[in-house]
Amino acid sequence: MPVVSEAVLTQILSQLQSLQVAQQEMGAKLEALTNSNSPPSPEPRGLPISRTNGRQTKSPMNGSTITDSLQEREKSLYPGRVLLTTYPSQHGILPFNLTWGAEDPAVRGPVICSRLPSSIKVRNAIGAHSGSYSIYRALSIAMGSLDPMYKPSYEMTEPPVDLAVPCKSWYGTEGKNMKIVSLDPWGHLVPSVWQKAIQDKSVGGLGLDIRPSISVTKAHIKLKELDDSVNRGELFVDGKIVLNTAPFEGVLDPGVEVNVSKAAVDPIWYLPGVADRFGISESLLRRALFEDTGGMYPELITRPDIKVFLPPIGGLTVYIFGNPSFLRDPSKILTLRVHDECNGSDVFGSDICTCKPYLVYAIEECIRTAQGRHPDQIQAERERVKQSGGSEVDVNNVEKGAEGVGAVVYFRKEGRALGEVTKYLVYNLRKRGGDSADRYFKSTEMVAGVKDMRFQALMPDVLHWLGINKIDNMVSMSDMKYDAIVESGIPILKRYDIPPHLIPPDSQVEIDAKIASGYFSSGKQVTQEDLKKTVGRRWEEVEH
């Protein structure tokens, strides 16, 4: 029996999709002719959906008045027919030019996904801004809290630090040259770079609804664990990065706080590049995103000409310790942790995993690096003093070296991107099944069907956005994160695991299972027999 190549299958799928689009267009045109007597719409027509609700609730006194009022509000918000989707050949559709990876922002073009009348016909992206929070925006409009026509004012919102500036890794239009495909590198510069396009037509602009997908700010962070480290002499107050917290009533020791720069990043996907990263066709990616989200975005199918998609998922936050410009300077030491969200541990201190202790340890390493107090920096400075003719006393008196920079990238991928509900179900299975390390990953697979859905291929994009070209210290044991970063072209000079004394007893199951599966360990080796012997705490155990 002849074997059909993937290329042939892809061609067949593409032709089927073209037929589907043509059929949908014909259906829409036929519907328009059939309903030619219906009220005109200010927008392109789509398929009609009934606006009546058979489950309306009326109060005895004024039920009809309330119902009429709600219907009037609906008509005022959405006076036209329901527009289910659009098509490339539809009258008036002319997407604003967007060439992903172009060096000149005028050629690259802005990302426009707005459905406002001023922008809907020039949209060049599918989806909505703010990721999963776009649902709350829709709810706010429905309740009358937010004017759907409101356009934000970006006055005095520009970044206070040069956290990310245009660099070589931002550019590239195909293949391996394309380092960034899952976020818009220009996202934090939108109000300045495309100011003219955003300005109202009354002042000579285009009046387009173009929004930032990245914001940058400065802040102080405060963690009790850092107070303890200062008290133990493991961290030092320098008045620049680590500051004494001002006294406040009722607290004997207010502790310390840390000066940081940070950025919030919403995902924006360039679909051909994302498909290439995962080794699948763009048509398969589009079909999966459409079919397996309940048909949420029909334009993934009907608008193959639009290559940019704003997925309704969580984004990421970057925390920078020290001078942000050092991230782009290969002469400076960089300590980095890429951390995937774990609400139970990071926020509430659950001890079933090492997420919080590992995160805090990484923050401390980042602080030491920014201050020049990392052991490698101190050793380098001692060597410099020695080579310059310094005495043994001079060498031994060296307490810090050249300042470096630290970064923690915090991704919203709760429960290995399986979600918190699934994670808790897995916890139940583990505890009822004896919670041995040899069944750690198997328990997840039994509930979720897969042990991990984070798929780290897109993760390095944010590092390239920051201009990082090498990592001196990688505070991570993950082989998947390490491989993804190195394969993207960023070398990692040293990686190290979490110190044993920071591992909570109940999370030894996690650590041993990960080491046995290929996670990095500087010394410990784990056999299958060891995994069977490593058992977590039972629910009934309350004494320690």
Q: Which residues pair with 411 in a beta bridge?
A: 316, 340
Strand bridging mode 214-221 / 316-322: unpaired
pLDDT over 70 for what percent of the chain?
88
Give the count of domains, the chain.
Answer: 4
Q: Tokens 């002319």 appear where?
A: 94
**Is there a contact between 119 and 112 (Cβ–Cβ < 8 Å)?**
yes
Quote the pLDDT of residue 5. 64
Q: Flag whether 442 is in a domain.
A: yes
What letter would DSSP give residue 80? S
Question: Is the pLDDT at 269 greater than 80, yes or no?
Answer: yes
Each residue of 209-227: pLDDT tens digit? 999 999 999 999 999 999 9
Name the least confident of 20-29, 396-405, 408-417, 441-450.
20-29
Decide if 454 is catalytic.
Answer: yes
- Residues 248, 352 within the same domain: yes
- Residues 204, 290 within the same domain: yes
**Is there a contact between 100 and 184 (Cβ–Cβ < 8 Å)?**
no
Cβ count near 94 (within 10 Å): 10
Question: Is the pLDDT at 180 greater than 70, yes or no?
Answer: yes
- Residues 409, 483 within the same domain: yes
Report how far residue 182's alpha carbon sits from residue 266's, in angstroms, rounded to the nearest whole number. Answer: 9
| 436: containing domain | 417-453+508-537
Q: Flag whether 54 is in a domain.
A: no
Quote the pLDDT of residue 12. 64
Q: Flag whether 58 is in a domain.
A: no
Q: Which residues pair with 310 in a beta bridge?
A: 127
Who wins on pLDDT, 24 or 396? 396
Each residue of 275-297: pLDDT tens digit? 999 999 999 999 999 999 999 99
Question: Is the pLDDT at 315 greater than 70, yes or no?
Answer: yes
- Band of pLDDT at residue 13, cut at 50, 70 and 90: low
Each residue of 38-69: pLDDT tens digit? 444 444 333 333 344 434 444 445 566 778 88
Quote the pLDDT of residue 53. 43
- Residues 101, 201 within the same domain: yes
Residues near 148 by beta carbon (within 8 Å), at least 6 away in sequence: 77, 116, 141
Quote the pLDDT of residue 181. 98
Mean pLDDT of the 100-116 span = 94
List the structure tokens of 362.
């990484």
* DSSP alpha helix (H) spans, 182-257: 190-193, 195-198, 224-231
Quote the pLDDT of residue 51. 40
Quote the pLDDT of residue 16. 61
* DSSP alpha helix (H) spans, 155-281: 190-193, 195-198, 224-231, 271-278
Q: Tokens 């328009």 appear where?
A: 32
The DSSP line for 267-333 is --EEHHHHHHHHTS-HHHHHHHHHHTTTS--THHHH-TT--EEE-SS--EEEEEEE-GGGGG-TTS-
CA nearest to 456, candidates 487, 420, 499, 496: 487
CA nearest to 385, candidates 398, 404, 370, 399: 398
- Residues 188, 123 within the same domain: yes
- Residues 288, 169 within the same domain: yes
- Residues 489, 340 within the same domain: yes
**CATH number reported for the structural domain that contains residue 399 in this entry:** 3.40.50.10990
Mean pLDDT of the 163-188 span = 91
Amino acid letter, residue 363: I
Mean pLDDT of the 248-261 span = 92
Quote the pLDDT of residue 79. 86
Decide if 479 is catalytic.
Answer: no
- Residues 114, 104 within the same domain: yes
List the structure tokens of 218.
């400065």
List the structure tokens of 355.
């997420």
- Residues 243, 366 within the same domain: yes
Question: Is the pLDDT at 502 greater than 70, yes or no?
Answer: yes
Beta strands in 325-426 (DSSP E): 334-340, 405-411
Q: Flag whether 277 is in a domain.
A: yes
Mean pLDDT of the 131-160 span = 94
CA nearest to 346, candidates 405, 407, 406, 410: 410
Q: Flag whether 275 is in a domain.
A: yes
Cβ count near 361 (within 10 Å): 20
123, 211, 454, 495: the catalytic one is 454
The distance of Cα 513 from the centroid of its chain, to the nearest Å, equals 27
Question: Is the pLDDT at 312 greater than 80, yes or no?
Answer: yes
Question: Is the pLDDT at 454 greater than 70, yes or no?
Answer: yes
Each residue of 329-344: pLDDT tens digit? 999 999 999 999 999 9
Quote the pLDDT of residue 335. 98
- Residues 373, 521 within the same domain: no
266, 276, 452, 461: the catalytic one is 452
Q: Flag whether 154 is in a domain.
A: yes
- Residues 305, 161 within the same domain: yes
- Residues 364, 482 within the same domain: yes
Quote the pLDDT of residue 59. 47
The helix/strand/coil state of 14 is helix
Report how far residue 101's alpha carbon sits from residue 271's, in angstroms, rounded to the nearest whole number. Answer: 13
Report how far residue 71's alpha carbon sits from residue 51's, in angstroms, rounded to the nearest whole number. Answer: 8
Quote the pLDDT of residue 20. 62
- Band of pLDDT at residue 93, cut at 50, 70 and 90: very high
User: Residues in the chain, how many?
Assistant: 544
* DSSP alpha helix (H) spans, 35-97: 63-77
